[in-house]
Structure 1
Amino acid sequence: MTIDISWPALAFFSLILLVPLLINWHFHLALGKDMLLSIFRMVAQLALLGVYLQFLFDLDKLWINLLWLALMLMVGASAIIDKAKLPKRGLFLAVTCGLLLGLSPVLFILLFGLLKPDPSYSAQYLIPLAGMLLGNSLSGNIIALQRLYNRLSEAKQEYYGYLALGANRSQATQSFVQSAMQQSFAPLLASMSTVGIVTLPGMMTGQILAGSDPLVAVKYQLVILIAILVMLSISVSTTLSLSIRTTISPCGRVNIPSPHA
């Protein structure tokens, strides 16, 4: 049985947000405006999402679920590029395709091969699963794009040296792509290697608090972590490959400024 949280109790608990605001003031971090804006957006977006998801779950129409999924992909792609501090032109389609190609097969296997909800497009499963997969792929894609274009800017001589020796665009960027992918996978691999000992994942914790059997929660968490690793692998590799094609000319000229990390 899930223990409900009253709105007054939630409001009282939220007073602890004064702690990061006071720390920001004490250390002169100049993050007060960003913190307050982020808190406001979080509350507003989650409140609207809760109302909308209730409507979405009750309606449960395939075309509406797919439309919402498309919106999630586009917002996710936009957030990745913004946080990587890169221009959307030339990258938005590449990142969106990377997320779509990473999400689609994994989501299909989860819904049609493993969980098999009725109907298969049930919003109760489709939307939360897609949200978890996309949400956990954002940081990896951000790191990968930042690393790639920062390295291309920092190691110009090395890059142009490859081109001068006759390497094509793909060959000249290979070491940069490898470095970007290694860094993008590092946080997830570290999390996976310490899960259950150092960390207790959010999904597993939520299910246990909701009254699920701990072993059932463990199985769901294993499924999600495996799915996230697979999606991240596909989305990052696709995003980097397409980004190189759209932002670097066939002759090797980089047509995008480096991000300000």
Structure 2
Amino acid sequence: MNEAPIHLWGLVAGYGLLIIPLAVLLWTRTPLVGKMLIGVVRMTVQLLLVGFYLQIVFDLNLSWLNGVWVLVMIGVADISIIRGAGLRIRKLALPLFLSLLVGIMIPLLFFLAVILRQSCLLEARFVIPIAGMILGNCLRANIIGIRRFYQSIRQGEKPFCQQLADGASLAEATKAHLQNAMQEALAPTLATMATIGVVSLPGMMTGVILGGADPMTAIRYQIAIMIAIFTGTSITILLGILSTRRAGFDDFGMLKKDVFKS
């Protein structure tokens, strides 16, 4: 394969592109220069640290270590989702973690075992990047879905309570909120699937092509990963809402106020 590696000086030159957005911010007097510089530094440091660690993980290629890294990724996503949804970590961390674990593992293991036909399902160069792609998309969708679910109930508390008073179960009273949350959370992924390859070249396809593979091979990879992403996203949103619902409502079906950060 004809790879095109980025050498050190090429990467340094890449930072030169930042002169353009920096000039735009200065010219328009937009107060984001500090945030931009901090963001670039944080991005660089974080990616370098992760890169060094992943290099060690890839070199060792120990199944248990690869599995631990995937669990760490899920744990970080778990906390990020709860914070992004404006909820309290202590109340919902465990049920959401288990939901993410199940929702990620189903498409991940299917992708590795059935699509790629890997004999070792915890091969570092496959399990870590694929898990990262699935989890990254699930993270954004879960923030949207879970936040939408709880905020809609909070804002429509009176009609929600009226449904409970009329004899509806918690599942019946939250059904419409669940449907709306699922619809809003899955909409971006569906929009991406509908326009992929036309509006933009997706990440995996671009990476495979840059790695030297032919476009048709890259397309097969991209189709497979998009199906895995949509499957994982659907499962994690549904399980995430259902599992946190048990911790977020009391025995009378009322939304607990202490699940929100404020």
Same fold (TM over 0.5): yes
Deviation for aligned residue 1:129 = 0.7
Name the aligned partner's letter for residue 164 of structure 1. A
Amino acid of the structure 1 residue aligned with 2:217: V
TM-score normalized by structure 1? 0.93
Structure 1 position 33, deviation (Å)? 4.2
Partners of 2:164 and 2:69 lie apart in 1 by 43
- Looking at structure 2, the residues matched to 75 and 93 of structure 1 have their Cα atoms a distance apart, in angstroms, of 12
CA contact (8 A) 2:99 2:239 kept: yes
SS in 1 for 2:89: coil
Q: 1:259/1:140 Cα in 2 relative to 1: closer, same or farther (>3 Å)?
A: farther
Paired residues in the alignment total 260
CA distance in 1 between counterparts of 2:34 and 2:255 reads: 35
Q: In 2 relative to 1, CA 18–78 (structure 1 residues): closer, same or farther, beyond 3 Å?
A: farther
In the alignment, the residues of structure 1 paired with residue 37 and residue 98 of structure 2 have an alpha-carbon distance, to the nearest angstrom, of 33
Q: Is the 8 A contact 2:161 2:254 kept in 1?
A: no
Q: 1:49: how far off?
A: 1.8
Give the 4+ runs in structure 1 shifted more than 6 A: none
Residues 169, 250 of structure 1: 8 Å contact kept: no
2:99 maps to 1:98: yes
Mapped to 2, the partners of 1:137 and 1:189 lie a distance apart of: 13
Matched, 1:247 2:237: no
SS in 1 for 2:113: helix
Structure 2 unaligned spans of 5+: none
- Report how far residue 9 of structure 1 moved: 2.0
Cα deviation, residue 30, structure 1: 4.4
Does structure 1 residue 72 correspond to structure 2 residue 54? no
Deviation track 1:201-247 (CA, whole Å, cap 9, x = no partner) reads 11101111221011000000000000001000100000000111101
Residue 6 of structure 1, CA deviation: 1.8
Compute the RMSD of aligned alpha carbons: 1.9
Farther-moved stretch of structure 1 (115-124 vs 233-242): 115-124
Q: Deviations over 1:89-142 (max 9, x none)?
A: 221112211211111111111122221235332111011111111011111000
Cα–Cα, structure 1 residues 26 and 249, in superposed 2: closer, same or farther, change >3 Å? farther
Q: 1:59 to 1:199 in 2, by over 3 A?
A: same
**1:48 aligns to what?**
49
**Aligned equivalent of 1:163:** 164
Change (3 A) 1:213 1:231: same
Secondary structure of the 1:91 match is helix
State percent identity of aligned pairs. Answer: 36
Rounded Cα–Cα distance in structure 2 between residues aligned with 1:203 and 1:246: 37
- In the alignment, the residues of structure 1 paired with residue 203 and residue 165 of structure 2 have an alpha-carbon distance, to the nearest angstrom, of 50
> What is the correspondence of 1:5-154 to structure 2 with a 5 Å cutoff?
5-25=6-26, 30-154=31-155
Over 3 Å counting, the alpha-carbon distance change for 1:29 and 1:245 in structure 2 is farther
Q: TM-score, normalised by structure 2?
A: 0.92
Distance (whole Å) between structure 2 residues aligned to residue 251 and residue 200 of structure 1: 49
